[in-house]
């Protein structure tokens, strides 16, 4: 009886499922929205350069303000600064 158990054929192995197809990667942001005539274009827009305007080039003397108001430069040397907020402690965040 022992020999009969050894002589049986092994159970067939289950086949591995076929791999799922790989989804195409989305187009880069700079290419989205291009028309079909530009589909094969390799051109990408160039981003603006992050530069700092020197204080001497800011024409604050040419700005017109109502009587009693004044204007001054608070901070320089921060390319790309677009917003300013005042904290509870009076600190200015740019």
> Distance between CA atoms of 64 and 37, rounded to whole angstroms?
48
For 27-44, how does the pLDDT look when each residue is reduced to its tens digit (9 = 90+)?
A: 777 777 778 888 787 777
pLDDT at 70: 92
Residue 73 belongs to some domain of the structure: yes
Does residue 63 fall inside a structural domain?
A: yes
On whether residue 62 sits in a domain, the answer given is yes
Looking up tokens 């800011």 gives 58
Nearest-CA neighbor of 60 among 49, 70, 51, 50?
70
Residue 46 within a domain: no
Structurally, the chain folds into a number of domains equal to 1
Task: Give me the domain span that covers residue 61.
Answer: 54-94
User: Does residue 35 lie within any of the structural domains?
Assistant: no
Confidence class of residue 81 from pLDDT cuts 50, 70 and 90?
confident
Give the integer Cα–Cα distance in Å for 17 and 6.
30
Question: What pLDDT is recorded for position 67?
Answer: 96
Q: Using pLDDT thresholds of 50, 70 and 90, give the confidence band for residue 9.
A: low
76 lies in a domain?
yes
| In a domain? residue 71 | yes
Q: Is residue 78 part of a domain?
A: yes
Close Cβ partners of 72 (under 8 Å, ≥ 6 residues apart): 60
Does the pLDDT value for residue 51 go beyond 90? no
Nearest to 93 by CA among 76, 55, 83: 83
- State the average pLDDT over residues 6-34: 73
């Amino acid at each position: 009886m022992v020999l009969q158990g050894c002589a049986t054929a092994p159970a067939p192995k289950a086949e591995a499922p076929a791999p799922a197809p790989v989804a195409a990667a989305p187009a880069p942001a700079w290419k989205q929205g291009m028309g079909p005539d530009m589909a094969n274009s390799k051109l990408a827009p160039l981003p603006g350069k992050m530069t700092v305007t020197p204080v001497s080039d800011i024409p604050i003397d040419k700005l017109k303000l109502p009587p009693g108001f004044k204007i001054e430069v608070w901070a320089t040397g921060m390319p790309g600064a677009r917003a300013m907020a005042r904290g509870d402690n009076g600190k200015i965040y740019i």
